[in-house]
Amino acid sequence: MQTEFFKLDILSPVHIGTGDEIDPMSYIMTSESGGASCHVIDAQAWAADYPDPEALSEVFSGANIPAIRDFLTRKIDPAIYGLRRIMVSSQNIFDQYEKKLSDRRATHQLLFSPCMNTSNQVPFIPGSSIKGALRTAVIDWLDREKKLGLKAARAKDKRGNAYRNRLESVLGKISDSVFKQLKISDVPGFADSTLLVEPLEIRRKEGKTATPKNTCEVMPSRMLGNADQSTLYARIGIGDQTRPADRRLTLPGGQGWDWSELAALVNAYFLKRFEKERTKFYGLPNFKKARPAIKGLDTELKCEKGQMLLRLGHYSQVEFVTVEDNKPLTRTLKDGTRMPHGTTRSLANGLFPFGWVRLTPCGEAEYKRGVVECETANRDTRMRRARMREKIVLERTRRIEKIQQQEEIKRREAEAEARRQAELDAMPEGERQLFLLKKGELNENQVVELYNQLDGMENAVRIKTANALKAYWQQAGKWAKKECSKKQWVKVKLLKSILEES
């Protein structure tokens, strides 16, 4: 088996899902300067950090789903708790999200189907998906060239044993299948590069109701998204694993293909179906908006020798994922005929066909450069996110500490004021006013009022008060005769007489 290196260009949006829909409590959407974004969040970490667990529990136990999601949108900072960012490619998706948040009666919340992601939140194309698309093209060729009669075998045995036996007659037993001679690596993409799109079903006949489909996450492509992030790299091993020099996919009978021959076979399969698709759908009035994309795709599908075209993932359309002579069995109608299949196309945002990729052989050096570039970009994304998270958490911590310090100061001041007030309340009125005078807490009117009470005071208190008033007016520059008004000098002379001063 020889290891070959390939550049993989994503030509149109590719959605290879997990089979699940993302938990509606696990993402929020925000409107940003560059457009709307969807943030997949770590809600558990956020809940663990929330400063008021009781209030949080009350929100989650007492509110309906739209209210909870609105609460999350307002409270969670994606810079701290975001796991990955997805660009929202259609304004309608964001509008629907906001509409459902504001409608407390809504039971269905905007769901979307995520694409495959690694534990590091990096989107990837599984090698099994590439191999599966390639395998379908080979089986289609075998069914026609070797007269396998797969359709008849399926009709004969609904359990699938006859169908499987005919495939094994040319491919070998599952335990030793021909396709074990193909080893295809998963193909990592760029973090935070994916997009949310609407898979809009368009029928051949105008006026017929389309089947609604969930929003889905797609890889960036040359048609939609950051084209610079649509070129990825893959390793493919081809040949007998027991023979290091072998580089052919070989059938049990000896017939086989090297990579260029295999690419020609696979391209014939997919291009034939694309031509039929174009004739059947894209010339119709319903598909007018998609024609610019189809024209661009035409250019991308013109291959050089050794390049291989594949259609991968969901919404690749039934004709591209089934053997031509083994078309799907639809339900029987009242007139005894079968319901037609393949009467619609699902297009990303109603504009772009799903699933087209191109494999181009490249040298090991280019492969390594491409892989390193992608890994470096992903590492930078993780570090940038970590630095941003650390910065915001630090700022938040400092802000909380400052608030706590201010609250502590206020608490201590309140306690001191309460003690002081208690002490004042315990004092006789004359002593209280004298105490406040010494503390400088009486205004001028209150000082004069205290002066006017001198005649009614006991002698000892009267002398203390006179001393305090003297100190107050000396500090205020109202004690020496030349500094006083006539009224003030009368007060000073009285104080002097009480204090027996000349």
The per-residue pLDDT for range 190-209, each reduced to its tens digit, is: 999 999 999 999 988 877 77
Closest alpha carbon to 219 in 83, 93, 114, 67: 114
The CA distance from 294 to 300, in Å, is 10
Q: CA 301, 305, 311, 312 torsion: positive or negative?
A: negative
Of 287-291, 352-356, 429-433, 449-453, the least confident: 429-433
- Looking at residue 304, its amino acid is E
Q: Is the pLDDT of residue 393 over 90?
A: no
Burial (CB < 10 A; 0-12, 13-18, 19+), residue 246, is middle
The CA distance from 345 to 368, in Å, is 38
pLDDT grade, residue 341 (50/70/90)? low
The CA distance from 26 to 118, in Å, is 17
C-alpha distances in angstroms, 385 versus 84, 225, 392, 394?
A: 9, 21, 11, 14
Of the ranges 67-81, 328-342, 359-373, 435-449, the best mean pLDDT one: 359-373
Predicted confidence at residue 500, as pLDDT, reads: 85
Closest alpha carbon to 191 in 84, 111, 65, 51: 84
Predicted confidence at residue 19, as pLDDT, reads: 86
Q: Is the pLDDT of residue 443 over 80?
A: yes
Predicted confidence at residue 230, as pLDDT, reads: 96
Instruction: Tell me what the mean pLDDT of segment 316-336 comes to.
Output: 70
The CA distance from 289 to 198, in Å, is 15
Closest alpha carbon to 222 in 440, 11, 441, 489: 11
Of 171-180, 414-423, 492-501, the least confident: 171-180
> Where along the chain do its domains lie?
2-330+341-388, 429-498
Task: Summarize pLDDT for 44-99 with one digit per residue, the tens.
Answer: 888 888 877 888 888 777 667 777 888 888 888 888 889 999 999 999 999 988 88
Instruction: Tell me what the mean pLDDT of segment 415-432 comes to.
Output: 82
pLDDT grade, residue 328 (50/70/90)? low
Of 227-236, 319-328, 441-450, the least confident: 319-328
Q: Residue 332: phi, psi to the nearest 5? A: -85, 135
Of 52-66, 194-208, 281-295, 348-362, the least confident: 52-66
- β-strand partners of 347: 200, 353
334 versus 8: the higher-pLDDT residue is: 8
- How large a percentage of the chain has pLDDT more than 90? 41
For 417-461, the DSSP string reads HHHHHHHHHHS-HHHHHHHHHHTT---HHHHHHHHHTGGGS-HHH
Q: Is the pLDDT of residue 339 over 70?
A: no
3-class DSSP string for 113-138: ECECECCCCCEEECHHHHHHHHHHHH
Q: Is the pLDDT of residue 229 over 90?
A: yes
For 345-388, the DSSP string reads EEEETTTEES-EEEEEEE-HHHHHHHHHHHHHHHHHHHHHHHHH
The CA distance from 274 to 302, in Å, is 12
CB 220, CB 10: distance < 8 Å = yes
Q: Alpha helix (H) ranges present in 19-90?
A: 43-49, 53-62, 65-75, 78-81
* Tokens found for residue 213: 């489909």
Predicted confidence at residue 193, as pLDDT, reads: 95
